[in-house]
Amino acid sequence: MSRHARAPQPNRHRRLALIAAALVVPLGAVAVQGASGSDDPPPPEDAAQTVARDVAPAPQSEEPTPEPPVSVGLSDEEVAAFVPALKTAAPGTLNSVTLTMPDGQERRYLYSVPVGADPQEPLPVLLAMGGWTDPPENFLRYAGFDTSAAASEAVVVYPAGVTNAWAGAPYSATGEDEDISFLRAVIAQLETALPIDRDRVTAVGMSNGGGMALELACHAPDLVAGVAAVSGAFYEGITTGCRDTPVATQIIHGTDDELLNYGGGVLHDTPYLPVEEVVRWQGTRNGCSTEAPESTPLGDNSDRLVLPDCTVETEHIRVNGGFHDWYIDPSTPDETWEFLSRQHAAAG
């Protein structure tokens, strides 16, 4: 049995089970489709693949020149003015919501409330975003958060991208402003029915969804305290115009990713960045030292590379020989939630 799963398929994710039949869906049945074969079509045969064994520290002279921050999306005040209130959801249920944005576009999301949640205790929120062509019902099916600690500790939200794609990719139907406004609206609407801890909103994504998680860290650091990108699609431009606020970041990527190569490349006629470059860039944003990261083995096939002296936690889990996957080994839902659950927004 491989130590890391191939592209999400039902028979290769024994531990990442379907949502339990006991879950109630009060807002309409949520159909669970078969797992998608992949988040992106195969790259050209000659796509470059560079497998680096360690994340080299960025030389001081090569630090990126900061881009001016870009104002992206609606403000919290603008969002609060149009979101309708939610009905109170029962703990342990899966709920489907359709939200009409100010431009008339209908967006939707699924969410679950942890069993045993104290109605007076503020809850963290995990925004979980699938890859291209991956509807939330499918991502929920293999992501495994329903059987992880996240299910009992947080409101887990599965938002849907327009045409099942997220901003920042060449095939996106939306821009950063639209998707960030939507995600702000989701949090604002949840607050009408649940005690949400706004200092503990985090985001995780697979492939294109991982790229969107980094977009949030870049353009909406006031919304998220931490992000995790798994087999992330880091298309050119993702590092442009970011705000100065650091955001805790975890990047998980396989060195043999056949779609989004570890060493960068071109897909959909658009360059995407090497994983190490993205790690260094986020380390610079998070105030990390340029010293070499601390490397420790993680299981039999991975290394955890922790960047030193950061303002907020910044780490890269390198899955040696790993493909374009949501991994079983190391356990992606466990590793990402363990990292994100301890993040809090900076005071002020």
Q: For residue range 211-252, what is the model confidence (pLDDT) as tens digits? A: 999 999 999 999 999 999 999 999 999 999 999 999 999 999
**250 bridge partner residues:** 228, 315
- pLDDT-derived band at 43 (thresholds 50, 70, 90) equals very low
What are the tokens at 23?
A: 């879950």
pLDDT at 48: 35
CB atoms within 10 A of CB 65: 4
Choice between 253 and 18, residue whose per-residue pLDDT is larger: 253
Handedness of CA 244, 248, 254, 257 (dihedral sign): negative
pLDDT at 61: 39
- Round to whole Å and give the CA distance between 61 and 118: 51
Fold of 10-16+23-29+70-340: Rossmann fold (3.40.50)
Q: Are the C-beta atoms of residues 40 and 131 closer than 8 Å to each other?
A: yes
pLDDT exceeds 50 at position 3:
no
Q: For residue range 125-170, what is the model confidence (pLDDT) as tens digits? A: 999 999 999 999 999 999 999 999 999 999 999 999 999 999 999 9
pLDDT exceeds 60 at position 206:
yes
pLDDT exceeds 60 at position 199:
yes
Choice between 318 and 77, residue whose per-residue pLDDT is larger: 318
Choice between 203 and 116, residue whose per-residue pLDDT is larger: 203
What percent of the chain lies above the pLDDT cut of 70?
Answer: 78
Q: For residue range 46-97, what is the model confidence (pLDDT) as tens digits? A: 333 333 334 444 444 344 455 555 457 777 777 777 778 888 788 888 999 9
Boundaries of every domain in the chain: 10-16+23-29+70-340
Q: CB burial class (10 A; 0-12, 13-18, 19+) of residue 149?
A: middle
The pTM (predicted TM-score) of the whole model is: 0.80
pLDDT at 265: 98
**Average confidence score pLDDT of the chain:** 84
- Round to whole Å and give the CA distance between 197 and 225: 11
